[in-house]
């Protein structure tokens, strides 16, 4: 927290709150015609503390609240709104943050050791749940935050 900058906070909320809001607004006419759905991407840290990443957690918590509020607001139009909250998942995010490989491996090991299923998620697992939430056959699910994190939320 001591090293937080206003720019970093603004960028984070721009990506996790403002961008989905603007995208949803622009998609709204199509969603109303098609009775489509919105699937937001949160994080397990949208509803659990993340020491050293409080603003990230707060931006995801805001997105989860948008999800619930939009679900109620758009239900009359037949639009479902849900969010997926993955736990630690394999990606290039740690490398993109400029962390050295040794640090990346240490983080991955520490994360996996806290997850009951003892591993980080695979991007294909996340994608499969996005498709399930967006599936037009999923007709009676809205306003939900689905956490897929190998059981991390239970610890």
Specify the pTM: 0.93
Residues, the chain: 155
- Give the Cα separation of 122 and 52 in Å (integer): 24
Yes or no: say if 63 and 40 are a contact pair by the CB < 8 Å rule.
yes
C-alpha to C-alpha distance for 74 and 37, rounded to whole angstroms? 10
What are the beta bridge partners of residue 145?
83
Question: Which numeric CATH code is attached to 6-154?
Answer: 3.40.50.720
For the chain, which residues make up each domain, given as ranges?
6-154
**Do residues 86 and 44 make contact, with C-beta atoms less than 8 angstroms apart?**
yes
Those residues with Cβ within 8 angstroms of residue 62's Cβ, 6 or more apart along the chain or in another chain: 13, 16, 17
Choosing from 45, 56, 70, 129, the catalytic residue is 56
Instruction: Encode pLDDT of 53-92 as tens digits.
Output: 999 999 999 999 999 999 999 999 999 999 999 999 999 9
- How many Å apart are CA 121 and CA 90, to the nearest integer? 6
Helix H or strand E segment including 32: helix 19-34
pLDDT bracket for residue 4 (50, 70, 90): confident
What pLDDT digit, counting tens, does each position of 10-50 carry?
999 999 999 999 999 999 999 999 999 999 999 999 999 98
Active site residue 45: no
Do residues 62 and 13 make contact, with C-beta atoms less than 8 angstroms apart?
yes
Task: Name the more confident of 96 and 84.
Answer: 84
pLDDT of residue 13: 97
């Amino acid at each position: 927290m001591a090293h937080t900058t206003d720019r970093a906070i603004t960028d984070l909320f721009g990506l996790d709150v403002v961008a989905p809001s603007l995208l949803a607004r622009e998609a709204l006419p199509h969603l109303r015609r098609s009775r489509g759905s919105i699937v937001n991407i949160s994080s397990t840290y949208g509803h659990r503390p993340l020491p050293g990443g409080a603003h990230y957690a707060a931006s995801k918590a805001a997105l989860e609240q948008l999800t619930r509020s939009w679900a109620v607001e758009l239900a009359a139009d037949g639009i479902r709104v849900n969010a997926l909250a993955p736990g630690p998942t394999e990606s290039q995010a740690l490398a993109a943050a400029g962390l050295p490989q040794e640090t990346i491996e240490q983080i991955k090991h520490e994360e996996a050791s806290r997850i009951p299923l003892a591993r980080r998620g695979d991007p294909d697992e996340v994608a499969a749940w996005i498709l399930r939430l967006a599936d037009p056959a999923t007709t009676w699910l809205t306003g939900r935050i689905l956490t897929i994190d190998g059981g991390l939320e239970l610890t």
